[in-house]
Amino acid sequence: MSQKAQPLQGISVYILYGETGYAYVQLAVLLQGLILFLVCFPLAQYYQRCGDGSEEKYHIAWKSIFFNRNQIGVLGIIIGIILNKSGIERPAFGGSMFDLMVHVNAWMSLIPVGYSIRFNELHWHLKESWSIVSIKFILTPLIIAGLSALLLKDYLMRNTLLVLAFNPIAINAVITVRLHNLNLAMVMTNFMLTTVLYLLIVFPLLFVCLRL
């Protein structure tokens, strides 16, 4: 299962807190792949079958969930832990290479989403999409900030989780809907609206407030 953070999650925290913050992001999204494969995909498959009028029972392929090429993310974490515990120092070029790969990974991940955008359909759901803005940028961050203040002492980890809480609709939502032929226009409108608001308003405010 994939442990890769959403592009804006990773790069936002990396801009604020560098490698340490980026590492916290990867830890925070460890269960992301599990939720995607065990909850999101089965639900999307179920609604797709309902839309098609199929009454055939859907069976989850557990083997394909736990043993697939997306497990490379887990393998990378294990290798990193082994190298760290073995006392092997990172090569001098590692820092600059890491910086390059963070940015390349972020923007490359957005290509499939850009390919899926149908601009002539975005206005269909724009009005109803505003209802998710208060949930995404007010309610969710308030809950995460409260829980983090109660449970965590590390300010960097608290701030990382706060930035993640403010992030726009996940690309995984777009991918899930696209793969299962659901209402792509609605999800894409939510994604585009929250992403634009995040880039133009939310993240600049976070950058100023969290760097004080």
- The three state secondary structure string of 159-198 is HHHHHHHHCCCCHHHHHHHHHCCCCHHHHHHHHHHHHHHH
As a whole number, the mean pLDDT across the chain is 77
Express each pLDDT in 152-167 by its tens digit: 989 999 999 999 999 9
- pLDDT of 187 over the 60 cut: yes
Number of H helices, E strands in the chain: 14, 0
Report the range of poorest mean pLDDT among 26-30, 41-45, 59-63: 59-63
User: What's the whole-model pTM score?
Assistant: 0.69
Express each pLDDT in 101-124 by its tens digit: 666 766 666 666 666 566 666 677
